[in-house]
Structure 1
Amino acid sequence: MIWLTFLPAALALTLGVALGAASLPLHPSWAARLLVTVAATTTVATIGTLVFVTVNYAATLFPRAAARLPEWALFGDDRPVPAALGVPATALTCLGAATAARLSARWAREVRRAQRISQGVVESDTPMALAVPGRDGGVLVSRGLLRALDRAQLRVVFEHEASHLRHRHHHYLALGALAAGTVPPLRRLNTRLRFALERWADEDAAEAIGDRTLVAHTIARVALAHSSRAPEPPPFPAFTGSGVVQRVEALLDTAPGKNTISGPVILGGAALATGLLVSSAWQLDHALGLTFL
């Protein structure tokens, strides 16, 4: 086993942490795509490396069973993996698997719950609107929202939520939540991802309506009305559930550039770089034949 086995995952994780701390000068749509790509590949590289070490530690404990494993699944040398490394890797692998299973089950449960009530108006005084994914989904609104907004403002809400559905933002949210749950250093990146998705939907609504100020005022009005009442946690992020002040400020400013060239270039470069890190997170010891232990 060599130290380069851990280097790709470490580099990917460093990139993920850096993007979680930095504000990206991109249109929200490209920022969200970049963040979710890095979140997904960093998670695969990190968890994959832990699984790799766990398999080799198991081979150390059970050498007869290891003889049945394919060569690519084992380190390039025959030195045993010490318990000081193997035990934490095994524990983290099991914890990651359990967390992923728990998050997946909870997400599926919340989707089914939201779909059951998405065909009508929620009898609640709390103003809220949700984009419920799936064939039986749609835009879920509360009676309080319908009373709080006029026709033009309601159109803002529906354009915003329609953007979430059209671009399948629930996939982004699921990947971000999975990354943050299994690799805790990616939590800030997930927070930025959720904010970028809301900004993406805001910009789509502003473009469809042609009035950025109306969109900003609608977000602020729903946020104020919501904060004055007892919170009722929805199964998905609410219309004003992430970075309300920053979103309003952005909408009252000029529209961001579309990044028709720089966006795809940056996303492609990040996807290529992190993809290479993921692929090289396995078997570098075979390629170079250098030992770490």
Structure 2
Amino acid sequence: MIHIAWLPLLVPFLAAPAGRRPASHLSPRQAVRLLTAAAAGLAAASTCALALLIVPGATHLHVVAAPGHLLTPLSSGSPDAVIAIAVTAGALLAWCAARLVQGVRRRRTQLRRAGMLAAEADGELVVLPDEHPDAYALPGSPGRIVVTSGMLRALSAPEREVLIAHERAHLRERHHLFTAVADLAGLCHPALRTLREPLAYALERSADESAARAVGSRRLTARAIGRAALATRASSAAGRTRPGPALPATAGPVPRRVAALLGHGTEARTARPHAQRAAVVALVACVALSAGASVQAADDLHDGIEAAQGESR
């Protein structure tokens, strides 16, 4: 049981190379859903694996063995090694749980503050009197689109329409929830932090495609995104911060986003079919292997408990 329980802890390290391909070879919405589901699934499996690794060592304690009617500990190898693994797994599980609780609280606080800021504004669009060009979606109930006066001056009227359509897509599709799942998964297993970057790119590409459909021009959308990014980077951003859950229009690798828009189709359309299939299969295989190993480890643990109970009768 102990050997197979290690797999869910090791598989997430394969998610980094496997996670880059879906963002480039699938449609943005498909990539968003796949990457988010993979992050959540791998995080859950690795957490379960830590819990399962605790049990064999814990059965060496009378306070644990007595309620389970175990007169002998589970036979899972050398007692010293089993106990050491259990202690280490318990410490890691407690550390992950503390980080997860802290992350959830921090996210809730950020969303609450964002909601308060959004509630203070009248209308969907909020224009800040700030010379620094910036624009972002502020999730709340309802969400708001925040644009500075500097950004409005940097763009033409059609380009402003693109920018607003982009941020409106972030709010409508509730993209902040996907980023929250990825961030929390990264707190459960450090290797899953690598999925945050391809997911962020897929989210921006999804909003880009929505904006292009809204304004009816991919070229105009590409120009607006490029000019907004150049304006933001040309202006000093020292000391400036956005609210925690804000989704800026100029995030991610802007040149890749512009190139995808100017390609007259998403990257998924230009990619070879086998590349698309490989991208999906690689990440799904990681999740399936991790989940399957967790289930098998739990089944082996159950069999071991039954065997130990049988010996005690």
Q: Indicate which of 196, 213, 216 corresponds to 1:190.
A: 196
Report how many aligned residue pairs link the two structures.
283
Counterpart pick for 1:278 among 291, 295, 299: 291
Equivalent residues of 1:20, 1:190 under 8 A apart: no
125 and 83 in structure 1: CA distance in 2 versus 1, 3 angstrom threshold: farther
| Residue pairs, 1:256-271, within 5 angstroms | 256=266
What amino acid sits opposite 1:242 in the alignment? G
Matched, 1:249 2:259: yes
TM-superposed CA distance for 1:103, in Å, is 1.8
Q: Is the 8 A contact 1:122 1:142 kept in 2?
A: yes
Measure the CA separation in 2 of the matches of 1:76 and 1:15.
31
Residues 269 and 226 from structure 1, CA distance in 2 versus in 1: closer, same or farther, beyond 3 angstroms?
closer
For residues 60-85 of structure 1, the C-alpha deviation after alignment (integer angstroms, 9 at most, x for no partner) is 3x3323433699xxx96476563431
Q: Percent of pairs identical after alignment?
A: 32
Q: How has the CA–CA distance of structure 1 residues 64 and 287 changed in structure 2, closer, same or farther, with 3 Å as cutoff?
A: closer
Question: In the TM superposition, what is the alpha-carbon distance from 1:206 to its structure 2 partner?
Answer: 0.8
Task: Give the AA of the match of 2:232.
Answer: H
Q: Which residue in the other structure is 2:247 paired with?
A: 237
Residue 39 of structure 1: CA displacement?
Answer: 0.7
| C-alpha distance in 2 between matches for 1:284 and 1:150 | 62
Partner of 2:229: 223
Partner residue, 1:17? 16
Inter-CA distance 78–142: structure 2 relative to 1 (3 Å threshold): same
Give the distance between the partners of 2:210 and 2:241, measured in 1 at CA: 25
Q: Distance in 2 between matches of 1:122 and 1:67?
A: 65
Aligned-partner SS, 2:25: coil
**Cα shift at 1:287:** 6.9
> Match for 2:128: what amino acid?
V
C-alpha deviation, 1:200, in angstroms: 0.8
> Is the contact made by 2:59 and 2:74 (CA closer than 8 Å) also made in structure 1?
no
Deviates more, 1:134-143 or 1:280-289: 280-289
Select which of 218, 221, 228 maps to 1:212. 218
TM normalised by structure 2 equals 0.78
- What's the Cα RMSD here? 3.2
Instruction: Indicate conservation of the 8 Å contact 1:19/1:35, yes or no.
Output: no
Offset at 1:253?
1.1
| Aligned-partner Cα distance in 1 for 2:18–2:76 | 38
For structure 1, the residue ranges without an aligned partner over 5 or more in a row are: none
Deviation at 1:199, TM superposition (A): 0.6
Tell me what 2:91 maps to.
91
Name the CA shift for 1:183/1:285 in 2 (closer, same or farther; >3 Å): same
User: Residue deviations 1:218-250, cap 9 Å, x none?
Assistant: 111111111122322212232102111111111
Q: Is the 8 A contact 1:19 1:189 kept in 2?
A: no
Could you state the TM-score of these two structures normalised by the residue count of structure 1? 0.82
Point out where structure 2 has 5 or more consecutive residues left out of the alignment: 305-313
Q: Contact 1:128 / 1:145 at 8 angstroms: preserved in 2?
A: yes
AA matched with 1:109: T
Equivalence map 1:1-293=2 (5 Å): 1-11=1-11, 13-22=12-21, 24-60=24-60, 62-68=61-67, 77=75, 80=79, 82-118=82-118, 119=121, 120-231=126-237, 232-234=240-242, 235=244, 236-256=246-266, 274=287, 277-278=290-291, 280-282=293-295, 283-286=298-301
2:41 match: secondary structure: helix
Letter in 2 for 1:245: P
Tell whether the 8 Å contact from 1:177 to 1:190 is kept in structure 2 after alignment: yes
Task: Classify the secondary structure of the residue corresponding to 1:255.
Answer: coil
Query: What code does the residue aligned with 2:105 have?
Result: A
How far residue 8 of structure 1 moved from its aligned partner, in angstroms, is: 4.4
